[in-house]
Amino acid sequence: MKLFLYATTGLLVYAFCPSAAIAGEYKVFGIRTDFAMADSQPLFRDVYVNMGTNQGIKDGSTLDAYRVVTTIDELNQKTGRNISFKIAKLKVIHAETDLAVARVTQFLPPDATPIGSFTNVMVGDEVEVGKK
């Protein structure tokens, strides 16, 4: 009976508090880009992340974006491990309780990332509060 109660409680926590089930995993969940109405108009690319003021984020905060890549063990023909490496710095331009909008301020140089240069942050990239 106790096992049933523990299992039920765990499922309820997971169902109603998904952030508790995956605490610490913050990701890019959307990207919006301007369309130029004139040649001289600057284009902005907004990056939406699932962390906000509840996680201490505010306008002007710096975030680091990470790309997760699955390695392949080509010798044994198996999926290897996931590796994660920093690809960009973001600056928050708007924050709400559980989401923030940021813009890329810097991409890491190609010689600093395992796979080379990245031209954009993508949906699914991981984010965390920037380190000084």
Q: How many residues are there in the chain?
A: 132
Tell me, what's the pLDDT at 109? 84
Indicate the helix (H) or strand (E) that contains 4.
helix 2-16
CB 28 within 8 A of CB 122: yes
Q: How many helices (H) and strands (E) does the chain have?
A: 2, 6
Q: Which CATH architecture has domain 25-35+42-129?
A: Beta Barrel (2.40)
CA distance 118 to 44: 17
Tell me, what's the pLDDT at 117? 62
Q: Which residue has the tokens 């490496």?
A: 85
CB 101 within 8 A of CB 121: no
Tens place of pLDDT for every residue, the chain, 132 residues? 444 434 443 433 333 333 333 344 899 999 998 888 888 888 888 999 999 999 999 999 999 999 988 888 888 888 888 888 899 999 999 999 999 999 999 998 877 777 766 678 999 999 999 876
